[in-house]
Amino acid sequence: MRDSDRLNYKSYVQDRMNSTELDVGTKAMVLKDSSMTLVEELFENPDVNQALNGARPVIQDFVKFMRAEPEAMSHLISLSSHDFYTYNHSLDVSVYSLGLAEALGFQGVDLEEMGLAALFHDIGKRQVSLDILCKKGPLDPAEWTQMQKHPQFGLMILNQNDLASDAVKAACFEHHESFAGNGYPQKISGQEIHPFARIVALTDTYDAMTTQRSYNTPMTPVDALTMIKEKLSARYDPEMLRALHSVLFKMKNQAA
């Protein structure tokens, strides 16, 4: 997209977001669709500093929408499952992470940083070959080893770009760590894992379970969360798991 087109597009989106005639559901759709185009560009941009810069306004738009409309998050979440876009995963993980972080009390710049961190959590997959990323069916051990390097690759990429904050780097490098200490690459556990990485660990799994890929049938939100709670709970921060439940099912997060 050329800069002039992008500006036109942005003002078109802004008009619609500020309109008093559109309902919150339609606005959620406008925001999601328009962000998808921008996010696609971000991931193809070889200049990661520029991508980080470009991503911030997208996240700010989401945060602004969440503030303006109490129902925003539930509408965004309802748009987040069951589709096929390549870049959807990162944007969906951002939406879920913003909802979860807000429920956990993060505000302002921290919330923005969270959205950005989630958007870039898998940036290291740029360095993993497409054959592995798109393989249908299980990976062999050598392929799996490559795939499991994406947190390190991501950290390397972000370290070369001074706009990436430590929190964004941590979410990228630590999002496959497990609360119980048996994740990768560092095998750190519990509170040693950056809170953003603990959030992304959870929203990443939830998104993978509920999204249609070529070789699986998506789980319903209830089934996915039940499975996480019953079979995988040791991997995740228990407080965050409770909060995710309240975000997804719209109950007020009263202290359990």
Name the residues that contact Fe ion, by CB under 5 A.
Answer: 122, 204
Q: C-beta of 151: minimal distance to Fe ion in Å? A: 7
* Structural Rg of the chain based on CA atoms: 18
Q: How far is the CB of 59 from Fe ion (least distance, A)?
A: 17
Shortest Å, Cβ 168 to Fe ion: 14
Compare residues 67 and 187 and give the one whose CB is closer to Fe ion.
187
Choose between 122 and 174: whose C-beta lies nearer to Fe ion: 122
Helix (H, G, I), strand (E, B) or coil at 2: coil
- State the nearest-atom distance from the C-beta of 124 to Fe ion, in Å: 8
Cβ closer to Fe ion: 38 or 171?
171
Q: How far apart are CA 55 and CA 29, in angstroms?
A: 18
Q: Which is nearer to Fe ion, 154 or 195 (CB)?
A: 154
DSSP string of 64-124, one letter each residue: HHHHH-TTHHHHHHHTSSS---SSHHHHHHHHHHHHHHHHTT--HHHHHHHHHHHHTTTGG
**Residue number, 16 or 149, with CB nearest to Fe ion:** 149
Q: How far is the CB of 91 from Fe ion (least distance, A)?
A: 11
Which of 76, 159, 177 has its CA nearest to residue 123? 159
